[in-house]
Amino acid sequence: MVDFHDLAVIKADFTAFVNVMHCMVGVFLWDFFTTLDFEWDYITGRRKFRWTLLLYSFSRLGALGTAICNIVGFNVTHEINCQQWVLWSLITAYTSVTCASALITLRVVAIWGRNYLVVGLTIGLWLTNLGFLLFGIVMVCLEDRSPWSPIAGRCILENTVHARDNVAMTVATDIAQLIIMLVGLLRSRNTKYGMFRHLYVQGLIWLVAVTIGELPAVIFISLNLNDPWNMMFQNLALFTMEIFATRMYRSLANYNMGFDKDSHGPESHDGGPWRVTV
């Protein structure tokens, strides 16, 4: 049986983790730079500014900041302040996660027609998740979890299992909100038509994406095999959430502007009763 606490095994697992990280950063950077035309449309005035664009932008920029921190931190050849590196990595990652989750929350509220019970539940879930993430940042500030190792020539990430509650809460929040969203769409009885069909399909795809992209991170950090395995799929969870949340946002924005020409049904692209904007 493999001894996951053996130094040779940890070294091999860490190498695997760095390779997975680079792959996920590459996927994110491809998505980021190939979709900049969306922001350009706002800069040039082709699209009308909505305040939710700020959440969209901060989610993307936060993920970009995390990607940069990962590339720098895991490829340095000289000593750095590991504690500050970990802190900024968490701040950028949690900013991206929080804003992506907020986009989903607003969509749920809009679909349910601002139902007071749903508004209270979804915002409560979002605030609880935010509280967990802020607590995680505070704990990193209070504890030195990442000393520099002259022998390894890198920062040594320790006690990564402490992020378990944050990861689990984020995944639970995403799944709960997506289920509430799908229930709201099914209640409308219009999922066969244009706008609601569009939202329903997006919701199903997003639920599958969350299951595939985020559950591995929860499973392995709960198993706590070793620090590399605890972190192995956290980048997958982060970038999956950011990519799908922002793609859903862009897709709905394009639909409302009439860029999606495949719709059929009673909705109107110029603001009829079937219009949903977030």
Tens of pLDDT, residues 46-92: 888 889 999 999 999 999 999 999 999 888 878 888 888 999 999 99
Which residues fall within 8 angstroms of residue 208, CB to CB, at 6 or more apart? none
Tens of pLDDT, residues 81-123: 888 899 999 999 999 999 999 998 888 888 787 788 888 999 9
Contact 217, 237 (CB under 8 A): yes
**Predicted confidence (pLDDT) at residue 177 exceeds the cutoff of 90:** no
Contact 103, 56 (CB under 8 A): yes
| DSSP letters spanning 65-112 | HHHHHHHHHTT-SS---HHHHHHHHHHHHHHHHHHHHHHHHHHHHHHT
The span from the CA of 152 to the CA of 157, in Å, is 12
| DSSP letters spanning 188-253 | HT-TTSHHHHHHHHHHHHHHHHHHHHHHHHHHHHHHT--HHHHHTTHHHHHHHHHHHHHHHHHHHH
Q: What is the mean pLDDT of residues 182-195?
A: 64
Q: 95, 140, 139: which is closest to 238 by C-alpha?
A: 95
User: Is the sign of the CA dihedral 122, 128, 215, 24 positive or negative?
Assistant: positive
User: SS in 3 state form for 4-32?
Assistant: CCCHHHHHHHHHHHHHHHHHHHHHHHHHH
pLDDT of amino acid 278: 55
pLDDT of amino acid 273: 35
Q: What is the mean pLDDT of residues 121-148?
A: 86
If you average pLDDT over every residue of the chain, what do you get? 82
The span from the CA of 191 to the CA of 199, in Å, is 8
pLDDT of amino acid 17: 92
pTM given for the model = 0.85
Q: What is the mean pLDDT of residues 122-140?
A: 91
Buried b / exposed e across 77-101, counting CB within 10 Å, b at 16+?
eeeeebbebbbbbbbbbbbbbbbbb
The helix/strand/coil state of 263 is coil
Which class is 7-256 in CATH? mainly alpha
Q: What is the mean pLDDT of residues 213-235?
A: 90
The span from the CA of 67 to the CA of 62, in Å, is 9
Buried b / exposed e across 186-197, counting CB within 10 Å, b at 16+?
eebebbebbbbb
Tens of pLDDT, residues 16-25: 999 999 999 9
> Model confidence at 266, in pLDDT bands (50, 70, 90)?
very low
Return the minimum-mean-pLDDT range out of 93-102, 166-175, 206-215, 257-266.
Answer: 257-266
**Highest mean predicted confidence (pLDDT) among 107-111, 171-175, 193-197, 239-243:** 239-243
Q: What is the mean pLDDT of residues 229-255?
A: 88
Among residues of the chain, what percentage have pLDDT more than 70? Answer: 83
Contact 169, 129 (CB under 8 A): yes
Distance of CA 71 to the CA centre of its chain: 18
